[in-house]
């Protein structure tokens, strides 16, 4: 099922507050991260604030819908809705957010190590420098539809 097909099925059964969505895959390991979402273990994600402007994309906000795609970016897996979005320096991401991301041992130490590596690489690719003060977009979400 494509993102558009999934969105049409969802909107026939529901009346979303917003009639728009983004379709995307998770960054470093889309198969694993989407599996965690489908299992209910992953209810949050994080991204680098500065890269939204670099990529000419809109920063997410509460109430946004996203169709999560598989690694091939052809098959829609589920629809999530952002329930809370905040922007904080990397150094201020807390253990609760790390736990909600559901990755590794779910500790803040694991989260920081994995995300520092990933975010540093993405910032390098954009010709920018990653630091502990780099602003991070923290999204909390809920799965609102899965076939």
Q: In what order do the strands lie in the sheet with 44-48?
A: 22-24, 65-69, 76-89, 135-145, 44-48
Domain positions in the chain:
3-145
User: What is the distance between the alpha carbons of residues 137 and 59, in angstroms, rounded to a whole number?
Assistant: 8
Digit-coded pLDDT (tens) for 90-124: 999 999 999 999 999 999 999 999 999 999 999 99
Q: What pTM, to 2 d.p., does this model score? A: 0.92
Digit-coded pLDDT (tens) for 12-64: 988 888 889 999 999 878 899 999 999 999 999 999 999 999 999 999 999 99
Q: Which CATH architecture has domain 3-145?
A: Roll (3.10)
User: What is the distance between the alpha carbons of residues 70 and 92, in angstroms, rounded to a whole number?
Assistant: 30
């Amino acid at each position: 099922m494509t993102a558009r097909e999934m969105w049409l099925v969802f909107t026939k059964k529901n009346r979303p507050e917003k009639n728009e969505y983004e379709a995307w895959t998770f960054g470093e390991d889309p198969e694993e991260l989407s599996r965690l979402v489908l299992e209910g273990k992953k209810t949050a994600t994080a991204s680098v604030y500065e890269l939204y402007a670099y990529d000419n994309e809109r920063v997410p906000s509460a109430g946004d819908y996203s169709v999560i795609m598989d690694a091939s970016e052809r098959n829609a897996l589920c629809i999530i809705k952002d329930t809370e979005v905040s922007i904080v320096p990397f150094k201020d991401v807390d253990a609760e957010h790390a736990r909600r991301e559901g990755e590794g041992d779910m500790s803040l130490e694991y989260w920081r190590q994995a995300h520092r590596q990933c975010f540093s690489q993405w910032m390098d690719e954009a010709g920018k420098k990653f630091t502990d003060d780099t602003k991070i977009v923290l999204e909390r979400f809920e799965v609102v539809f899965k076939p």
